[in-house]
Amino acid sequence: MPKVWLVTGASRGLGREIARAALDAGETVVATARSADAVREAFGDHDRLHARALDITDAEAANAVAAETAERFGAIDVLVNNAGYAELGFFETFTDEAVRRQFEVNLFGTMNVARAVAPHMRRRRAGLIVTISSVSGLVSNAGGAVYSASKFAVEGWMEGFAQELAPLGVRSLLVEPGMLRTDFMDGKSARFGSIDIPDYAEAIAQYLAFVDGANGNQPGDPKLLAARIVPLAAQDDAPARFVFGDDARQWAGAKVDQLRHEIARSADHD
């Protein structure tokens, strides 16, 4: 039986590919973005696609979209909490406002949507919340401190929330991709620090050169990831986490090794 998917940030990037993959699998998709017209332009006419405007930082709007979806289709089977963006650059080059905006979207906006959808899933004792995190939610590097902080927070929140939901029949899947070939690193999604600090000038120039070179040349294929997420969503025994991409698995594996080493060294000092 076809399922009902609610996908945020669906007008471009990974969200668009996930929505397309779900449609290709015969599912009904309520696809949201800040502009419903942008969703329609991305997909054209499709009888199982329903475009809705949603700014995820607006909790009332999230509640309205969730309620409308549940009432119209009878259920929300899969939520894909995908919408987000990146503040890329060295921490001290960001204003407090920029840092707070990163958390407002990536963490609190994601929470808004989950909080709006979870009651509908709990009533049915069924459903799956797919949270698009990042390997940057497991590993942080120079130039990614602010973005990683928001994704680390998403990981911690969702890891605990998933355990609260599980006894009620609601499942969770955290998706942690490496670098994907989307517009994530250009001005459509990413923002960059605005405060000039000479001490960081050389390192920042090297970092920005890396971003420019990587943009559009990322190793990960978002269509392939989307094609993996849809069948995972159909599995009753889907993993709690899905680390996607050789780069992500390498970085996450190195972090695990580092933690094991540091835990062992800590024991030496007990």
Give the pLDDT score at 83.
96
Give the pLDDT score at 98.
96
Contact 104, 111 (CB under 8 A): no
Give me Rg for the CA atoms of the chain.
Answer: 19
Which residues belong to the active site? 133, 147, 151
Give the pLDDT score at 152.
98
Q: Convert the pLDDT of each residue in 165-193 to its tens digit.
A: 999 999 999 999 988 756 665 555 567 88
Give the pLDDT score at 213.
73
Give the pLDDT score at 219.
53
Domain containing 122 equals 4-268
DSSP string computed for the chain: ---EEEESSTTSHHHHHHHHHHHHTT-EEEEEES-HHHHHHHH-S-TTEEEEE--TT-HHHHHHHHHHHHHHHS---EEEE-----EES-GGGS-HHHHHHHHIIIIIIHHHHHHHHHHHHHHHT-EEEEEE--GGGT---TT-HHHHHHHHHHHHHHHHHHHHHGGGTEEEEEEEE--BSSSTTSTTT-EE-----GGGHHHHHHHHHHHHHHTT--SB-HHHHHHHHHHHHT-TT--SEEEESHHHHHHHHHHHHHHHHHHHHHHHT-
Give the pLDDT score at 262.
96
Give the pLDDT score at 65.
98
Number of residues that this document lists for the chain: 270
Question: Model-level pTM?
Answer: 0.93
The closest of 166, 110, 118, 167 to 134, measured between CA atoms, is 110
| CATH number of 237's domain | 3.40.50.720
Mean pLDDT by 10 residues, the chain (270 residues): 95 95 97 97 93 98 98 98 94 97 98 98 98 97 96 98 98 92 61 88 88 67 93 91 94 96 88
* Count of domains observed in the chain: 1
Give the pLDDT score at 208.
84
- At position 166, the amino acid (one-letter code) is A
